Structure 1
């Protein structure tokens, strides 16, 4: 009786482990669309999306991502995968390599009776490496700065991709024509319990965006989430994962995401300078690395995380 009740409870009432068990069955169905002999499927994480490590019977390793229902649309996920595929073809930057289905599609949409809505799923090859965080040093951040700049240069060549903005203030903002409108800001302040510091941070970000403009030298396709859980190191080289949040924004936003996640480290100032030096070695753009610009985007990112 207990097993029956667990299998018939509404998905929204399940705890994290219960939802992961349901999504595992959906993931198994998704994998039948790929020419990958599966030996083992292991849950990796259940956050905004749910991911599984896939160990192939042929020795290959992969990551299957089950997209959250309120995430990017199928066309937008295809655009993300198209960028990854182009990066693998056209550069030596190490990013996840998309695996096409038997029908040569980069995504598959799967439904399961125990999950209330169809889910978009993608499969990529495993990226080897280690996450460092407290062990980060200036050499790693210099390499990440170079990587970020080269990633942006390639993104500038990717025309016609269907991706949203990385700096929209809230989920409500993403549904509006202008994600920074007064209506969006008023709702954000209300969501933050009336905290006017939110308004001050957004007003400053508005001013900085206006000062920078939206020219190709300061604005384009960016990763949007280069924090310690999305970059890793292997044999001295930096690699990036977690492109599901990529989109269009100011290049300084990418750097601000990285900088905002270093504040708990005692060597944060040395890491900051190394990141910016590495970035400038590829893109010596003073506007993008201006301290006031970066501070405004760091504050904006902090507001976004607070209201997520």
Structure 2
């Protein structure tokens, strides 16, 4: 069988589905084949057991993105957040061997993949088309509670997560590839984006990484990773959680719609909610547009390096095009 990386995309999906199905045995679950619900860094499946009425979410990890220790660290934090009453997070399910992280092999893959199973969480994903102002106040408050927890939490020995700073986002060692590989770039856009990235870097260097500004955060608090269940906001998908600026979490909340006219109102609501829990100095609040631009340019890079995903294909060139006026406005305001 050809190596996984050499297979066409459809064949890769078939191999991932086969692996997900075989993983069920390691949890003692006899259910129909898992159904793919999301393909991003990882492949996420819905598992339904019609007999018991139970449902789970299974995550098949991308090869080489996170080590086993890093995944264990992610699970340690999200469990602590839930157990300490900070926020509702997914509940990981142990396999029949008692381990939360399973290792599952497939003939086409060089190495076994890490697999994690979670209890299914009820609720509905918010949409940018909803009236989100009140939800963003709640989101700001929830985010501040998470930041407060991470500031006081004693991390277990061997804790390991990625760092998302300028260098690993837009600089010389980017986790998601170079923004220069974004879809639809031409000479003029590349020059504009380069000027914008340079300004972001200079402002972040001045902003610094003091403990009150930089630490362990979720790093992907976008609407797709939230569930609203009555009055509760549940936070999902800690796969990108790591060390970054606290205000990066604010920017991720408007991921993929940073150019929409309601964003300033939503950011103001987020700040209002955040300040219910933690102090946010005015000078820090004034830097939020820099973090929005950091996230926007990082997503330009992500789309370019994940062109096989449905999300990248649906956004693609138009996302790059709508980034142009954001860059122009940012340079006028902060340059």
Aligning the two structures, in what range does the TM-score lie when normalised by the shorter sequence? 0.7 to 0.9
What displacement does 1:266 show? 4.9
Superposed CA deviations along residues 126-157 of structure 1, whole A, max 9, x for unmatched, are 11111121113211111111111111122221
The match for 1:85 is 79
Question: Is the CA contact 1:67–1:119 (under 8 Å) kept in the aligned structure 2?
Answer: yes
What displacement does 1:102 show? 2.5
TM-score, length of structure 2 as denominator length: 0.77
The match for 1:3 is none
Superposed CA deviations along residues 77-124 of structure 1, whole A, max 9, x for unmatched, are 111111111112112411111112233322112111133432111111
Pick from 36, 39, 47: which aligns with 1:43?
Answer: 36
Question: Is the CA contact 1:108–1:121 (under 8 Å) kept in the aligned structure 2?
Answer: yes
Q: Find the aligned partners of 1:229 and 1:152 in 2 and give their Cα distance.
A: 20
Q: Using a 3 Å threshold, how does the CA distance of structure 1 residues 36 and 299 change in structure 2: closer, same or farther?
A: same
The within-5 A match list for 1:153-302 is 153-156=148-151, 157-159=153-155, 161-167=159-165, 168-169=168-169, 173-174=173-174, 195-263=190-258, 265-286=260-281, 289-291=284-286, 293-302=287-296
- For this pair of structures, how many residues does the alignment match? 291
What displacement does 1:221 show? 0.7
Pick from 107, 121, 132: which aligns with 2:115?
Answer: 121
Q: Find the aligned partners of 1:136 and 1:18 in 2 and give their Cα distance.
A: 40
Q: Find the aligned partners of 1:287 and 1:203 in 2 and give their Cα distance.
A: 24
Question: Is the CA contact 1:23–1:115 (under 8 Å) kept in the aligned structure 2?
Answer: no
Q: Using a 3 Å threshold, how does the CA distance of structure 1 residues 300 and 205 change in structure 2: closer, same or farther?
A: same
- SS of equivalent residue, structure 1 residue 232: strand
Question: Is the CA contact 1:43–1:52 (under 8 Å) kept in the aligned structure 2?
Answer: yes
Q: Find the aligned partners of 2:179 and 2:38 in 1 and give their Cα distance.
A: 28
Unpaired runs of 5+ residues, structure 1, are 1-7
Pick from 140, 143, 147: which aligns with 1:145?
Answer: 140
Q: Find the aligned partners of 1:50 and 1:260 in 2 and give their Cα distance.
A: 20
Q: Using a 3 Å threshold, how does the CA distance of structure 1 residues 132 and 50 change in structure 2: closer, same or farther?
A: same
Question: Is the CA contact 1:108–1:120 (under 8 Å) kept in the aligned structure 2?
Answer: yes
What is the RMSD computed on CA atoms of the aligned residues? 2.7
What displacement does 1:188 show? 5.4
Q: Find the aligned partners of 2:27 and 2:282 in 1 and give their Cα distance.
A: 45
